[in-house]
Amino acid sequence: LGEGDEGSDLDSFEEKIKASGMSEEVAKVARKQLDRLRQMAPSSAEYTVQRTYLEWLVELPWSKQTVDTLDLDQARKVLDADHYDLQKVKKRVLEYLAVRKLAPGKKGPILCLVGPPGVGKTSLGRSIARSLSREFIRASLGGVRDEAEIRGHRRTYIGALPGRIIQGMRRVGTRNPVFVLDEIDKLGSDFRGDPAAALLEVLDPEQNNAFSDHYLEVNFDLSHVIFIATANTLETIPPALLDRMEVLEIPGYTREEKLEIAKRHLVPKQIEEHGLKETQISFDDETLTTVIEQYTREAGVRNLEREVANVIRAIAVKVAENEPYQPKLDPAQIAEILGPQKFFSEVAERTEVPGVATGLAWMPTGGDILFIEASQMHGKGNLILTGHLGDVMKESARAALSWVRTHVEELGINPDFEKLDVHLHVPAGAVSKDGPSAGVAMIVALVSLFTGRRVRGDVAMTGEITLRGSVLPVGGIKEKVLAAHRAGIRRVLLPDRNRKDMVDIPESVRKDLELVFVKRIQEVLELTLESVPVMVAGPGSQSEGTTAHA
């Protein structure tokens, strides 16, 4: 009886091979393995291995695929309903749809969404799948260190399985899903191989139509898949892998964008998740702006959603206990629920004494303002640098001091550098910093220190400097300008050759800020330093200052 059941069970594999739509080459391999299986005793260890392999072969989506929705208006509505702004990515998706409409055989694009945490990179992949009426699958690559995670193990190993790509394709059940490779910048590598190198074949449109997994040992077509990788930074992605992807940068959000996202998405979502109705609680613009400005400081909206949830939970307790409360929240109630204000604009305070300049930094988490602090004391002509600075930033500091020393007459100062030690500090000391864009802020801090002229508290700056006094362009302009806007800065000094980056800065931010483009250090000093000294600079005087980070 058992043998007959086993025979009919193996016969079903033949039907599944025919129904799977696999290529003739793969079907030939499958039938060969089926013939081997028929000759094995069901009690043998090899039998289970062989059967598992056949099950993987027949259950993969060799020909099954979903039909794309090629209605551009409908796709645009879906994308706009799920995410506010992000026009670059939406434009790219609609372009792909338009091309698919005109050329149905077009291969799927391979995109890499780069941006700080909490801006919606992963959820955007889900939204893209919904707009195209495709299935969605996600694989997290953070901390993956083994090549076999991508390509699978050979069947000679006990407990061997295909890699994450083939596993995902089997789970999703179609050959044309939207496949999100999350945190691709956090791949590792060790003695077991480099998973980033294994991804080269997956993410190459010229090769992935014949992707070979070590476990399957037959080619699988990935060319119909839309691969979307997400990353916080491009620096840790190997150049060969980066070259295979179309990079779309998603910068941080402005205050106005956060307000719209909170009203349209975060507040309704949190109200529903906490079992309340919109009639029981409401946030006006002023209340949400208070939460955004006083309780969060981030490029994305993840902490904003957390703080909104904290407020709603406090109201949910009152509703559950039938306590009286005011449904329309105001800033006073926010302070009562969330506690004292967490973030203040410290720029004006930090620049009250000479030796101060506010710089702008780019980090994987978005832009930020940094402070360069300068002081002078009796010594032997040393330059002391602290604040966990990288080599490039240290060189910028030396170049800044050299420029100041060669322009003492022009600046109207006459310090005896041979008997002075100059100290530059860039807080916070526990955070590593590097890059050349702090050069301008360092020169301003030093000139402010030696002349006794304070730096204007509402000015921030970025730019690389040369010994000739030129201001060179730097990267991350949009993130830096948004950081200045968040911090309450009114004037931002940028290298003249960065004018081209203005197209990326939202109109609302450009209206609020005075963006000044400079070519020479002399222009920077005129625009940043107060005209009248507030103290006589000399050895032993100490000034706080401001930090810049590239």
Strand partners, 111: 228, 246
User: What number of H helices and E strands is found in the chain?
Assistant: 22, 18
Q: Which of 433, 289, 424 has the alpha carbon at shortest distance from 369?
A: 433
Q: Tell me what pLDDT residue 550 has.
A: 54
Residue 259, classed as helix, strand or coil, is helix
Count of CA atoms in the C-beta half-sphere (13 A) of 312? 25
Give the residue-averaged pLDDT of 328-348: 82
- Please give the Cα distance from 52 to 521 (Å, whole number): 70
State the catalytic residue, choosing from 90, 121, 478, 480. 480
Is 199's pLDDT higher than 70?
yes
Half-sphere exposure for 469 (CA within 13 Å, toward CB): 12
Dist CA 127 CA 136 (whole Å): 9
Residue of 544 and 323 predicted with greater confidence? 323
Q: What is the mean predicted confidence (pLDDT) over 413-423?
A: 84
Q: Could you tell me if 542 and 374 are in contact, meaning their C-beta atoms sit under 8 angstroms apart?
A: no
Place of tokens 């699958």: 137
Mean pLDDT of 385-400: 89
Residue 10 is predicted with a pLDDT of 77
Cα gap 416→18, rounded to integer Å: 89
In this structure, are strands 366-378 and 420-425 parallel, antiparallel, or unpaired? Answer: antiparallel
DSSP helix/strand/coil, 31? helix
Q: Is residue 492 scored above 80 in pLDDT?
A: yes
Q: How many Cβ atoms from other residues are within 10 Å of residue 156's Cβ?
A: 8
**Half-sphere exposure at residue 191, Cβ-oriented, CA atoms within 13 angstroms:** 0
Long-range contacts of 275-279 (CB under 8 A, 24+ apart): 275/316, 276/312, 276/315, 276/316, 276/319, 279/327
**DSSP SS3 for 493:** strand
pTM, to two decimals: 0.76
Tokens of 324: 């009286």
Q: Which residue has the higher pLDDT, 298 or 305?
A: 305
Q: Which residues, 6+ apart, have CB-to-CB distance to 317 below 8 Å? A: 323
* Number of other residues whose CB lies within 10 A of the CB of residue 298: 20
List the structure tokens of 251: 């910068």
pLDDT of residue 273: 92
Secondary structure (H, E, C), 124-174:
HHHHHHHHHCCCEEEEECCCCCCCHHHHCCCCCCCCCCCCHHHHHHHHHCC
Please determine, for residue 544, whether its predicted confidence score (pLDDT) is greater than 60. Answer: no
What pLDDT does 541 receive?
A: 41
Domains of the chain: residue spans and CATH? 2-59 (no CATH), 72-249 (3.40.50.300), 255-338 (1.10.8.60), 347-528 (3.30.230.10)
- Residue 313 has what pLDDT? 93
251 pLDDT band (50/70/90 cuts)? confident
Quote the pLDDT of residue 46: 85
List 375, 437, 448, 543, catalytic entry: 437
DSSP 55-83: HHHHHS-SS--PPP---HHHHHHHHHHH-
Query: What confidence tier does 463 reach under pLDDT thresholds 50, 70, 90?
Result: very high
Torsions phi, psi of 202, nearest 5?
-60, -40
437 is catalytic: yes
Residue 1: pLDDT over 50: no
Phi, psi of 128 (to 5 degrees): -65, -40
Rounded CA gap, 368 and 252, in Å? Answer: 11
Are 196 and 245 contacting, i.e. CB atoms less than 8 angstroms apart? Answer: no
Residues 252-269: tens digit of each pLDDT: 787 788 899 999 999 999
Reported confidence tier of residue 306, pLDDT bands at 50, 70, 90 = very high
Helix, strand, coil fractions of the chain, as percent rounded to 5: 45, 15, 40
Question: Between the CA of residue 455 and those of 109, 114, 351, 380, what are the distances in Å?
Answer: 49, 35, 6, 27
Q: How far apart are CA 431 and CA 445, in angstroms?
A: 20
